[in-house]
């Protein structure tokens, strides 16, 4: 997030969800539409906003003012889709403040168990000691599922962390979200929406630590055996004037 104390103009936060149609599920119709009935419509909702791109291909998206939360434009904002790594924002909202960034942890093989095949990885090695800050850089800069699993094990385990993420989603009124794994990797039933992802982003961006990781462009990461690798922030994941940070998905 751009530092809110220095913002002198409206900054915009945009989140889109794109996933295979077969995995999509409709928003629950048994409750009022959070954010207003228009967010439940299938048509683009843009209010007085002008200049929308002529061709938008995302199956669901929402653009909001990062400070006020005002929805500026949206399309199927409550459509439930697999969130992929954007769910790591909720993971950070839940776990980020649990451990000081300078605290150190020596990774065990058990910390790395259960990481799905095909995951994005930062290259964490069992037997290597990392600071918590380095692990979070692995989450934010490389979207590393190995870093997520190590932090989840430090937090008491994957199952405990998933339960806490579900509770945090309820606290934030992110009622389209169902968490199955802390890394966001596609699992049956793991779903969220552009509306909920906006809630996760706005909540996280109030935290100075969250913003600092979003602003980080590059970091040298221990790769074991005395080696180091360099991680770079993917395009769209950093913050600057008029831009806001997030985790890629």
Active site positions, annotated: 85, 88, 143
**CA-CA-CA-CA dihedral for 36, 38, 41, 45, to nearest 10:** -130
Which of 77, 25, 19, 91 lies closest to 249, judged by CA? 19
Which of 97, 192, 114, 189 lies closest to 153, judged by CA? 114
Distance (Å) of CA 210 to CA 10, 118, 157, 163: 20, 26, 22, 21
Interatomic CA distance for residues 242 and 99, integer angstroms: 30
The H or E element that residue 17 is part of is strand 12-17
Which of 9, 62, 24 lies closest to 198, judged by CA? 62
Torsional sign, CA 150, 154, 160, 164? negative
Interatomic CA distance for residues 95 and 99, integer angstroms: 8
């Amino acid at each position: 997030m751009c530092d809110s104390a220095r913002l002198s103009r409206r900054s915009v936060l945009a989140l889109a969800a794109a996933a295979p149609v077969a995995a999509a599920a409709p928003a629950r119709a048994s409750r009022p539409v959070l954010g207003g009935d228009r967010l439940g419509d299938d048509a683009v909702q843009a209010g007085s906003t002008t200049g929308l791109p002529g061709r938008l291909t995302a199956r669901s998206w929402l653009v909001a003012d990062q400070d006020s939360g005002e929805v500026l434009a949206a399309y199927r904002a409550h459509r439930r889709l697999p969130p992929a790594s954007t769910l790591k924002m909720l993971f950070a909202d839940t776990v980020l403040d649990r451990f000081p960034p300078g605290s150190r942890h020596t990774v065990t093989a058990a910390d790395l168990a259960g990481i799905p095949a095909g995951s994005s990885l930062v290259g964490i090695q069992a037997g290597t000691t990392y600071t918590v800050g380095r692990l979070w850089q692995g989450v934010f800069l490389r979207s590393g599922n190995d870093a997520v699993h190590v932090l989840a094990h430090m937090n008491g385990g994957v199952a405990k962390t998933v339960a806490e993420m579900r509770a945090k989603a309820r606290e934030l009124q992110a009622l389209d979200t169902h968490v199955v794994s802390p890394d966001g990797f596609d699992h049956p039933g793991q779903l969220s929406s552009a509306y909920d992802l906006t809630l996760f982003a706005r909540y996280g961006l109030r935290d100075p630590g969250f913003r600092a990781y979003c602003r980080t462009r590059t970091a040298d990461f221990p790769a074991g055996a005395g080696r180091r690798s360099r991680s770079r922030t993917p395009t769209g994941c950093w913050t600057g004037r008029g831009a806001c940070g997030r985790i890629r998905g």
